[in-house]
Amino acid sequence: MATPEARFDAWIQSRFAYATPGSYIIIDDTQTQVPNCFAYAVGVYERAILPNNFEQLAQAYGGVGYYHTTAEPEEDGDVEVYAKPSDLGRPLHAHRITDAASGTCESKMGADFAIQHHRNLLQCNHPNSTRSEYGVVVARYRYDGVRYARWLEGEVTTSSGRKLRRKDAAWTSSGRPVAKGNTSTSKSGRVSKKGGKKGGSKTKQAPSFTNSGKPDPRAVAKQRPPAIPRGGFRRPTARITPKPFAVKAHPPAAQTKPSAPTGAQRPPAATSARKPLAPTTAQGKPPPTTANKAPPPTNAQRPAQRPAATARPTRR
């Protein structure tokens, strides 16, 4: 299995005609996504600098003390920036001069390794091609400590209109100033302003114009009225059933004992064709009636009463 260094050798030699074995030196432990070439060249290692044009690059480099210069000759520590002749307004790569006398430089190759190389190694075309990867060196920047100290004492205005001292401000990847501690860094190293307070994200209002002066398509899209569907708006065909009102329950009223109905209010007794049952006693026998009761017997019919026994004298 090929090592990361072997894969990097195959890539760089396929992109640069001057890159041959021994023409560059790979710097160990530099195969990281952050920083990128623009940040590595000025000694910024905790984030990336991602300019879209040289104006944004000048703002980002000015925030760390590097300013454009045309002074000759080159000095140690100078940063040189590449661009293609067909698009000179877009920076593509940057290297730092480590030894101006010998022309030795250091470059961070994107998210891959950083290398030591000659100043002319990357200013070439692809092998057997007229196309180039980075183009040629078109600008140079140099550190100015005195100018940087004066610049830190000045004020800067954020996009929200807040005025800050430059030493209390941080810079996003696009070169915009924000308050220190109010920035966030993505995995790719892009620095941006935090969304808002904890618990919710704050939507940033899109500017009306881009940095190039053209109308921002995001702002234009917000100003457009909502599109009307073909055929116009249609009313809903489904019938909407109204939601019933909730009936509030009331406590039951106090119950009163109804009064006995009067004769006028008493309903008539129901008549039945069935023969009424004879009344019975608790033992289940019909009660005696005078019709069935036998007449008392007469003296002649009464039996003779036995005479009462007399007491006999006791013998002594």
Indicate whether 201 pLDDT > 50: no
Q: Which amino acid belongs to residue 238?
A: A
* Residue 34: CB atoms within 10 Å: 19
Instruction: Select from 30, 41, 38 the least CA-distant residue to 8.
Output: 30
Q: Give the C-alpha distances (Å, rounded to integers) separating 40 from 63, 94, 114, 166.
A: 15, 9, 9, 22
Q: Could you give the percent of the chain with pLDDT greater than 70? A: 58
**Domain map of the chain by residue range?**
4-143
Q: What band does 198 get if pLDDT is binned at 50, 70 and 90?
A: very low
Q: How far apart are alpha carbons 94 and 82 in whole angstroms? A: 6
pLDDT in tens, 268-288: 665 555 555 656 555 556 666
pLDDT in tens, 59-79: 999 989 999 999 999 999 999
Indicate whether 26 pLDDT > 80: yes
Beta bridge partners, 140, equal: 80
Q: How far apart are alpha carbons 123 and 292 in whole angstroms? A: 148
pLDDT in tens, 211-264: 666 666 666 555 555 555 565 555 555 555 555 656 556 666 666 666 666 666
pTM for the whole structure: 0.56
Q: How far apart are alpha carbons 52 and 170 in whole angstroms? A: 19
Indicate whether 188 pLDDT > 70: no
Predicted local distance difference test score (pLDDT) of residue 134: 96
Q: How many CA atoms lie within 13 A of 288 on its CB side?
A: 4
Q: How far apart are alpha carbons 244 and 64 in whole angstroms? A: 69
Q: Angle at the Cα of 242 (from 237 to 248), degrees rounded to 5?
A: 170
Beta bridge partners, 107, equal: 95, 115
Indicate whether 199 pLDDT > 50: no
Cβ-proximal residues to 174 (8 Å cutoff; 6+ apart), any chain: 50, 51, 52, 56
28 vs 239, more confident: 28
pLDDT in tens, 40-59: 999 999 989 999 999 999 99
